[in-house]
Chains A and B, each alone.
Chain A
């Protein structure tokens, strides 16, 4: 039995050639990247100089003033963000956006490259016009999460009924990660058109969308949907019920306290927990006897929040906790909560 292995010689030669080629390609690529980077820095600097000059002389920038090569969203958008708070910027910004940035962004929305769409939505964050409503609506439904998230801010800024409703629907549809980001944007946004949200509550039946509406109204500190929420505190949908409980507890009204006390004996531990927390946030120390009963709740996390609520009730609540005998199973928990809270207060 013989075995012809002369082909291995060919492999050895091929490997040497490949190794040499690899080194050559690396050097060429390194040079290309070096020049690409340099070019971008040069163009950014050029655009920066022109914008600074326009700002100093308080003059608008026209299409022709900026070199064609700088008409790129990744160059202009960061510069616009940089100067956003400068005096006299609005006039420069308006011309720069309407003549260069927004046309680029509108075109990029249709791009198959997601990074381009991402730059488009970032450009809308800087400036947008009424005609951009359908563009933003499209971006809010983009498959790339990052683009959806960035589209919330300009949509709320434009604040049309369609966009506000789309944002509410998207928020309700999303999983926890996206929902928390959407709500975070609301938190940073002061002038949300709450009328649209209340109007939606009048007709909306989807419990998740209703819950989202309460969450947003809570962030905006708007209590205009109080009556709707009082009804929803007894909803069968847990998410809606808990959101409504949290929402009504923004108002320190007797009927709210009565409602919350009633919910302390609810079947669902989540409901008992949320009602306890709400009473703590309201500082409703008159409900101390009812909350104290939860110190022996079957769920440890409800017991823990009952202790925290009592601490929030002030000296009266603390006194009640200090009186718990050492033999009580909840004693250790009370001591730990008191230790941390009082330690923090001392600091």
Chain B
């Protein structure tokens, strides 16, 4: 009996594995053409020629900041150093408890000014509005703590340009990043959002907001995340582009058309992965109203960000991301195999549900069955080894192919030792790190389901109590009316 259960689970895992890998191959094939198309544009097209001068539209960079005293000054400097001449920066201090605000006031000589912007979207209370005396394109808004989504909404209210970039306060932009993003945004009709690639800044030499030297981090955790980021951005986002557009664009490097975001009521204040949630809502709004639109991604525009260096922080971050993914996907369940939403409903959304969300469950089940079979001495070691080699080999090939595409095209790591290090990490990413993430995501899902369940039960109870109370009040009124009549 147990043998049969183990075989059935194994067959299910293999079928799932085949399904996932077919999806990966489709994504990989669709991403290759786009990457090389973009690369050709950049290498042979002199992009800066097309977006400079009179036709360069003004852009606002919105930077939410919460407890970022160490990185905020360098980041803001990198934003102010953009080649794009009509570039404005709005930093929104989200009630930081450290010296973020003090550092900003001191470095950029900020003075208070009247908050001169309308409230298109409701936000938390604004405590202060500051203009800089030495950087005329910089504005800082101080507000009560209410999360990243709320801070972005404050920036959106204050933004006066038709295009804005949402980013993070621990992110650094390359001087031509906005040029490339704008070029992509303006090269496809009706583009409402365009994302750029994000690379790992840990290990790089950064001076005065500029990346002086690109180096791989020395520590294991940030190094492995370098490989992860390469795969996620070059392969995942680019691959989705020709089939309905990506569902996730990086929170630290996405350019939006302001009107489109205002039309859907701004960023969500409640979802912790507001970058995924906003793109899902944009897709939904545009499709529901039958508006022509495009959501794109360009690997040529680059941002650098600091990633967690400790196990505790990465555990928290990935758990949060996975719960946010679950929450956002649950909120847009109407996409699920819905032909009305075309490729988004029929491929992209199910891909995220089955591959990004449920892969954790399947993998966790696979590892559990493996351990149980080992414990009960029912494990066919030759099968286990073969299966491990196939699955490990396949994910290694996908990552390796992405890294090699990166090396051919937008190669950021020039040092031979970094390239060799990346290729070695590609092979060892699946040993230990992957299992750590699976466990972290699985627990985050359990926590999320329990929390949502508890929330549902509490709401039902409150509803019932309110109904009981209403009934009791009605009865009381009825009795008092009756007694008055009597």
Contact = CB atoms under 8 A, between A and B. Distances in A.
A181 B56 CA distance: 7
B112 interface: yes
A23 B404 contact: yes
A340 B186 contact: no
B50 A177 contact: no
A145 B10 CA distance: 53
Contact of A18 (B45, B58, B397): B397
B54 A188 contact: yes
Interface in B340-397: 383, 386-387, 389-390, 393-394, 396-397
A5 B17 CA distance: 14
Contacts of A187: 54
B186 A115 contact: no
Nearest to B185: A145
Contacts of B43: 33, 36-37
Nearest to B161: A180
Q: Which of A12, A36, A114 has the most CB of B within 10 A?
A: A12
Given A37-B43, A115-B41, A340-B113, A185 B55 contact: yes
Contacts of B183: 146
B422 interface: no
Contacts of B242: none
Q: Which of B50, B114, B394, B401 has the most CB of A within 10 A?
A: B114
A343 interface: yes
A268 interface: no
B187 interface: yes
Given A177-B257, A180-B58, A188-B54, A3 B10 contact: yes
Nearest to A153: B54
B264 interface: no
Given A15-B397, A184-B54, A333-B114, A74 B390 contact: no
Nearest to B51: A146
Given A22-B404, A40-B44, A146-B186, A336 B386 contact: no
A255 to B, nearest CB: 31
A325 B133 CA distance: 29
Interface string A112-127: 0011001000100000
Contacts of A9: 386
B288 interface: no
A78 interface: yes
* Secondary structure of the B contact surface, majority rule: helix
A188 B405 CA distance: 42
A347 B109 CA distance: 13
A145 B50 contact: no
A149 B56 CA distance: 9
A188 B55 CA distance: 10
B11 interface: yes
Nearest to B131: A340
A176 B259 CA distance: 9
A30 B407 contact: yes
A1 B9 CA distance: 13
Contacts of A304: 114, 116
Given A149-B186, A184-B54, A177 B408 contact: no
A278 to B, nearest CB: 18
A347 B11 CA distance: 76
Contacts of A74: 44-46
Nearest to A3: B7
Contacts of B55: 146, 149-150, 152-153, 181, 184-185
A1 B4 contact: yes
A337 B116 CA distance: 10
B32 to A, nearest CB: 10
A145 B162 contact: no
Contacts of A175: 162, 259
Contacts of B187: 114, 118, 144-146
B111 A26 contact: no
Contacts of A336: 112-114
Given A8-B390, A19-B397, A333-B114, A144 B11 contact: no
A143 interface: yes
A177 B57 CA distance: 7
A276 to B, nearest CB: 14
A143 B189 contact: yes
A177 B187 CA distance: 14
A122 B114 contact: no
Contacts of B111: 339-340, 343
Interface string B96-115: 00000000000000011110
B118 interface: yes
Contacts of B41: 115
A118 B51 CA distance: 11
Nearest to B39: A33
Q: Which of B7, B43, B55 has the most CB of A within 10 A?
A: B55
Contacts of B3: 1
B387 A8 contact: yes
B400 interface: yes
A85 B50 CA distance: 19
B14 to A, nearest CB: 8
A146 B187 CA distance: 6
B383 A5 contact: yes
Interface in A190-207: none
A78 B386 contact: no
A301 B113 CA distance: 14
Contacts of A5: 383, 386-387
A52 to B, nearest CB: 19
Interface in B1-60: 3-4, 7, 10-11, 41, 43-46, 49-51, 53-55, 57-58
A29 interface: yes
B188 interface: yes
A156 to B, nearest CB: 10
B200 interface: no
A328 to B, nearest CB: 15
A12 B389 contact: yes
B340 to A, nearest CB: 25
Contact of A115 (B45, B386, B397, B407): B45
Interface in A132-159: 143-146, 149-150, 152-153
B84 to A, nearest CB: 13
Contacts of B50: 118, 122, 146, 150
Given A37-B43, A176-B259, A339 B186 contact: no
A252 B84 CA distance: 37
Given A11-B393, A145-B186, 6 more contacts: A11-B390, A15-B397, A30-B407, A180-B57, A339-B113, A343-B111
Q: Please name the 10 residue pairs, one residue from A and one from B, whose CB atoms are nearest each other, closest first.
A: A15-B393, A177-B162, A149-B55, A8-B386, A26-B404, A336-B114, A146-B186, A11-B390, A340-B113, A188-B54
11 contacts: A11-B393, A15-B389, A23-B404, A29-B408, A78-B46, A81-B49, A114-B187, A144-B186, A145-B186, A146-B183, A184-B54
